[in-house]
Amino acid sequence: MGGLFLALEQSGLGAAMRESSFLYPLANVLHIVGLVCFAGAIAIMDARLMGAFEALPLRSFVSRWRKVAMAAFAVQIVSGFMLFSAEASAIIDNPVFQLKLLLIAIGLGNVVVFELVTKPGIAGWQGGQPPMIAKISGAVSLLAWIAVAAAGRLIAYF
Amino acid sequence: MALKTRFALVAAAAALIGAAPVLAHHGWGSYDAAKPLTITGPIKHSTYQYPHVHVMIDHEGNTWEITLAPPSRMEARRAVLAVVKEGNVMAAYGYASTARPHEMRAERITVDGKTYEMR
């Protein structure tokens, strides 16, 4: 397993990230811009689940903003992989990076729970006070993704 | 939507935005800024790479790893590759790491009578 990350670090991509005059700053900028777009899309969906913008239909609201979130997530995966490749063998051992991976898994797991449990459970919700499972789903998502962002920023300090 | 929920969302958003500038500049937390030191010697090895340029210098029987600025900032300050190449004598003024022995973060470096600021 360790050899895999060393191989990534020693790959053409890893070397290019360390040696190119613009790739590392570019990936850094993409990663923060991607975060802003991702957090915005996530927060607005979570706010809807927790009772905001109740006049707007939930289903179309979520499907619209999920497209933005997924596009931004793709930017995060690509730019994050670029940054990771520069120092992969060291960063994989970083405790905050490991925590970040766990938090991402929780955030994505929450999407699966939303699709399988929450969505069918709140199908009859017509507005007004949101059902408890909708509030929980929104709160878990918001907290998980804020924690992912915080952990990401803290990798450099540990 | 309840006023309380709305307040909580605004507070969460404010925390998210507010946290960024506080954490935006990293690197000085685990360095002992109270005890600056100068490490001087010929550069044994240098890696001019992102995210930070590093040089190795022998000093009083130990090999010190000196962490410098990112390559883009090094070049902006004219501390180009030729300035920190192997064999050049460098004086690095900065702070020792509190986490790793014989690692230091340079505030400024002097090579061949010229001083380059790393911040």
Nearest CA to A156 among A31, A4, A22, A20? Answer: A31
**Residues of chain B with confidence (pLDDT) below 50:** 16-25
Per-residue DSSP letter, B82: G
In a 3-state reduction of DSSP, which class is residue B51? Answer: coil
* Model ipTM value: 0.75
Confidence of residue A52 (pLDDT cuts 50, 70, 90): very high
Query: Distance between CA B25 and CA B28 in Å, rounded?
Result: 8
Query: Distance between CA A60 and CA A23 in Å, rounded?
Result: 37
Per-residue DSSP letter, A131: P
- For B55, list phi and psi in degrees, rounded to 5: -130, 150
- Out of A66-75, A92-101, B1-10, least confident range: B1-10
- Tell me: the pLDDT tens digits for A120-153? 999 888 777 899 999 999 999 999 999 999 999 9
Subunit contact A52:B5, Cβ cutoff 8 A:
yes
Q: What is the pTM of this model?
A: 0.80
> What is chain A's Cα-based Rg?
18
Q: Is some CB atom of chain B closer than 8 A to the CB atom of A47? A: yes
Structure tokens at A145: 């993704």
Q: In Å, how far is A55's CA from the nearest CA of chain B?
A: 10
**Amino acid residing at A120:** P
Q: pLDDT value at position B33?
A: 87
Q: pLDDT value at position B9?
A: 60
